[in-house]
Structure 1
Amino acid sequence: MRLSILDNGHRLRARLFLSVTSKQPPDIVKMLLYRPGFLTRPLLDLTAPAMRGPSYWTAGEREFLAMSTALLHECPFCVDSHAELTRIAGHGEIDPDRADSARPEVRAVRAFLETVTLNPDQIVLPDLPPPAIREALRVNLVWNVVNRLANAFGFVLRDGQLESGTRALHRFGYRFPGFLLAGGPVGPHEDPVENMRYSVFTVPAMTDPALRRAAAGEDGLPALLQPFAAKVRDASYRLTDADFAELATEYREDEVYEITVAAAVGAALRSYDAGQRKLGA
């Protein structure tokens, strides 16, 4: 973890939970339990139905699509996690090491999501039912956010975490106990995508909303932040400890956290919004 606040900046309830549930909590859990009102609550409100709710796609297929997105971001933490989850949730229906083991519809939407992620201005819709495409776009949105953050904050899998972590995620359906997520402003929208947009870019926080919107790709970002935010958005796998150390000369860790989240969410929403527009939504 490249920010110490993600290791030891949690509220008391989160610290107690982490201490009794694991000697070495996974990095993703520690990040999600840090200031849950800023990102986590709307993100999990989106993730649980996207990954385990009713869908055209099976749970195993959605895990395979998540793994495919992680490959695009060159995120080993997420590739390994979702490959294992594909095996657990899919019960053998897909071999995560062989894309041709998936049914043709999965292969078609996988290619579509690759374009959505890497070249959102060049989207061509696959020959699939529009509801199936919308569901796949939500899966893609979740992991386009999480992969960028996993790379940025330096998530790693430690001994035993792959097996225990993936089984816990599958068992609980990507849901956290409600008391861990309580507090802070509640988004005004029914759609968790819009609540995530509202939470990250509108709600008062340590940084000005205008700065967060600039980190997402709008004009006005200070020169020091420009190369950092661009890496988060476009090549998060290239971020290093030195990138974070450079920002520490001018910004507190809480501010760096918000800027990183804003850049990741902004890039993911750009792809998602392009897909929605192509669908005419």
Structure 2
Amino acid sequence: MWLDAVESGQELPARIMFATMRRFGRTEVPAVMKVVCYRNRYFGTPLSDLIQDAMRGPSFWTVAEREIFATRASQFNECPFCVSAHHGIAAAYIAENLVDEALADGDDSPLRPEAGAMLEFVGKMVRDPDGLSPGDADKVRAAGVTAEAFDEALWVVTLFNVINRAMNAVGAEALEASQAQIGARFIKAFGYRTPPPVRYLSRGAR
């Protein structure tokens, strides 16, 4: 069930921005935008800054690899909205079939060996954290993943454990293909930070 407060409880700058997006984009505003812009100073803006840093800041991992990590975490957290959104964003950086092959866990993965090993660890971390062992981490290190790169990937997964639960809590459904494509273009162009009209013109948390 979608929460009515998150549907229409934003401040005026966000409501104006949403109306503009609906008129010119000819599609509904993505659910995550409504969540981020609801009491944005309290939750959305700090979280979006963290996501921007993890997903677009300097990293051993490419943008596509980080998006694939986010998609994998979302799959095992059973978050349909985030799976559809981040699969689409990853496909904005590499071919969609390569994203599908990477997530298929087959022998023909297009990922770098480091990313393939990290993706396997990410899946186990989310799906069966109690089953992790030092040997799982050793396998990732043996693939050439440094301690810093390991931490960067785990930071992505940690954030998406939070985001997935937030989106599931408000009842966000999977995006349609056209919506995912529009959202991917927006994120590729502007990143994850709270949009400036909301970030700078809202009164703050109420």
Identical counterparts, % of pairs? 35
Normalised by the size of structure 1, how large is the TM-score? 0.60
Q: How far 1:181 sits from its partner (Å)?
A: 2.8
1:98 matched residue in structure 2: 101
For the pair 1:25 / 2:29, whether they are aligned, the reply is yes
Aligned with 1:149 (options 166, 176, 189): 166
Tell me the alpha carbon deviations over residues 42-78 of structure 1, each in whole angstroms, 9 at most, x when there is no partner. Answer: 2111111211111100011111111111111122222
Tell me the alpha carbon deviations over residues 74-131 of structure 1, each in whole angstroms, 9 at most, x when there is no partner. Answer: 2222222222211212x33971211222121111111222233244453532202011
Indicate conservation of the 8 Å contact 1:69/1:144, yes or no: yes
Indicate conservation of the 8 Å contact 2:77/2:127, yes or no: no
Distance in 1, Cα, partners of 2:111 & 2:177: 30
2:90 matched residue in structure 1: 86
Q: How far 1:179 sits from its partner (Å)?
A: 4.1
Indicate conservation of the 8 Å contact 2:14/2:197, yes or no: no
Given the superposition, is the C-alpha separation of residues 123 and 14 from structure 1 closer, same or farther in structure 2, using an over 3 Å criterion? farther
Deviates more, 1:18-27 or 1:175-184: 175-184
Normalised by the size of structure 2, how large is the TM-score? 0.80
Tell me the alpha carbon deviations over residues 179-238 of structure 1, each in whole angstroms, 9 at most, x when there is no partner. Answer: 4135547xxxxxxxxxxxxxxxxxxx8xxxxxxxxxxxxxxxxxxxxxxxxxxxxxxxxx
- Amino acid aligned to 1:92: A
SS in 1 for 2:99: coil
1:275 matched residue in structure 2: none
For the pair 1:135 / 2:152, whether they are aligned, the reply is yes
Distance in 1, Cα, partners of 2:34 & 2:159: 17
1:220 matched residue in structure 2: none
Distance in 1, Cα, partners of 2:115 & 2:187: 22
For the pair 1:161 / 2:179, whether they are aligned, the reply is yes
- Amino acid aligned to 2:165: R
Indicate conservation of the 8 Å contact 1:33/1:40, yes or no: yes
1:51 matched residue in structure 2: 55
Indicate conservation of the 8 Å contact 1:112/1:123, yes or no: no
Q: How far 1:22 sits from its partner (Å)?
A: 2.1
For the pair 1:111 / 2:129, whether they are aligned, the reply is no
RCO greater where, 1 or 2, for CA within 8 Å and sep 6 or more?
2
Q: How far 1:175 sits from its partner (Å)?
A: 2.1
Indicate conservation of the 8 Å contact 1:77/1:155, yes or no: yes
Gaps of 5+ in 2: 103-108
Given the superposition, is the C-alpha separation of residues 10 and 42 from structure 1 closer, same or farther in structure 2, using an over 3 Å criterion? same
**Root mean square deviation of aligned Cα:** 2.2
- Amino acid aligned to 2:45: R
- Amino acid aligned to 1:112: F
- The size of the alignment, in residue pairs, is 185
Given the superposition, is the C-alpha separation of residues 120 and 184 from structure 1 closer, same or farther in structure 2, using an over 3 Å criterion? farther
Q: How far 1:11 sits from its partner (Å)?
A: 0.7
Given the superposition, is the C-alpha separation of residues 145 and 94 from structure 1 closer, same or farther in structure 2, using an over 3 Å criterion? farther
Distance in 1, Cα, partners of 2:96 & 2:7: 37
Indicate conservation of the 8 Å contact 2:68/2:99, yes or no: yes
Gaps of 5+ in 1: 186-204, 206-281
